[in-house]
Amino acid sequence: MRQWVRFLSVGFLLAAALAFGALQASYRSKPTDRVIRDVGEALRTIETYYSGEWSSDAVLKWAIVDMLLSLDPHSNFLDERAYQRMMEEQRGSFYGIGVSINSIQGVLTVIMPIPGTPAAKAGLRAGDVIAEIDGEPTKGQPLDDLIRKLRGPKNTEVRLTIVRQGYEAPFSVTLVRDEIPLVSVVNAFVTPDGIGYLRVRNFAERTYEEIRSHLEEFQKAGLKGLVLDLRDNPGGLLEEAVRVADLFLPPGLTIVTVRGRGIGRVVEYKSEQEDPYETLPLIVLTNRGTASASEIVAGAIQDHDRGLIVGETTWGKGLVQTLYPLSFNTAVAITTARYYTPSGRLIQRSYASFFEYSFPQVQSSPLTPGSPDRPQFQTDLGRFVTGGGGIQPDVAVESFRDPEVLQAIEQEFYRRVAPVNGLPYLEFARFFAPVEKADEERQHRSTRQLLSPDFQVDDALLTRFQDFLRQREIPFDETAFRRDREVIRQVLRRELIERLWGESEGYRYFLTFDPQFKKAQEVIPKARQMWSQRLQALKKKEVSS
Q: Which residues are catalytic?
A: 292, 303, 317
Question: Distance between CA 323 and CA 325 in Å, rounded?
Answer: 6
Cβ-contact 281, 225 below 8 angstroms:
yes
In 3D space, the residue among 94, 66, 196 whose CA is nearest the CA of residue 153 turns out to be 94
Element (DSSP H or E) covering residue 6: helix 2-19
Q: What is the dihedral of CA 176, 178, 184, 189, to 10 degrees?
A: -60
Distance CA 150, CA 69 (A): 34
Which backbone phi and psi does 49 adopt, to 5 degrees? -115, -20
**C-alpha span between 228 and 202 (Å, rounded):** 12
* The dihedral sign for the CA sequence 121, 125, 126, 128: negative
Is residue 162 within 8 Å of 124, Cβ to Cβ? yes
DSSP string computed for 153-219: STT-EEEEEEE-TT-SS-EEEEEE-EEEE--SEEEEEE-TTSEEEEEE--B-TTHHHHHHHHHHHHH
- SS3 annotation, 374-418: CCEEECCCCCEEECCCCCCCCEECCCCCCCHHHHHHHHHHHHHCC
Please enumerate in sequence order all residues whose Cβ is within 8 A of that of 474, keeping only pairs 6 or more positions apart, or say none: 409, 412, 413, 416, 424
Q: Do the Cβ atoms of 68 and 321 come closer than 8 Å?
A: no
